[in-house]
Structures are given as structure tokens and as C-alpha cells.
């Protein structure tokens, strides 16, 4: 078992918020945060909040997880 960082990607807000990806595991928190930032970049900046449909707002972040690397693809 090893500790890794799981990238979670959500689409939408409030009650319509849905997990759209929760299966990308990274050895490095820096790599995980890089992809989280890239995925959320399109809609992650809410400075023009009124232009982005709430269903299209993306949130991505990394959480630590303990996984078996023989059963889990780790990037």
C-alpha cells in the first residue's frame, strides 16, 4: 500500500453538483495539482460568474488516498 493523491473533478454547483472523475491517482501532489488547475481553468475563474452556466462550473482538487499500486494505475 502507498499514499497517493486522488484527483476529484466535479461539474455543477449546489444540488446539481456531480462527480465526473474520481479515478486518477498521482504519486506527486504537484502533478495532481497541475492537472486539477488545468481541468478547472476553463470555468474555474469565476470573475465573470454571470457568464458561466452553473451546470458548467468545474471544481477540481486533490485528496490523499492509500491504494495498492498493483490494483490501481498511478501516474
- Full residue range of the structural domain in which residue 59 is found: 2-67
Residue 60, H or E segment:
strand 58-67
pLDDT digits (tens, 9 = 90+) for 48-61: 666 777 777 889 99
73 domain-assigned: no
| pLDDT confidence band for 14 (50 / 70 / 90) | confident
Residue reference for cell 504537484: 30
Report the number of distinct structural domains present in the chain: 1
**Alpha helices by DSSP H, 1-75:** 29-44
| pLDDT confidence band for 1 (50 / 70 / 90) | very high
| pLDDT confidence band for 45 (50 / 70 / 90) | low
pLDDT digits (tens, 9 = 90+) for 59-69: 999 999 999 99
Amino acid at each position: 500500500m502507498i499514499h497517493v493523491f486522488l484527483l476529484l473533478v466535479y461539474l455543477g454547483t449546489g444540488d446539481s453538483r456531480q462527480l465526473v472523475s474520481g479515478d486518477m491517482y498521482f504519486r506527486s501532489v504537484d502533478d495532481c495539482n497541475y492537472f486539477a488547475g488545468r481541468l478547472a481553468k476553463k470555468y474555474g475563474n469565476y470573475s465573470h460568474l454571470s457568464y458561466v452556466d452553473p451546470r458548467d462550473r468545474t471544481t477540481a482538487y486533490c485528496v490523499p488516498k492509500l491504494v495498492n499500486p498493483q490494483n490501481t494505475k498511478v501516474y
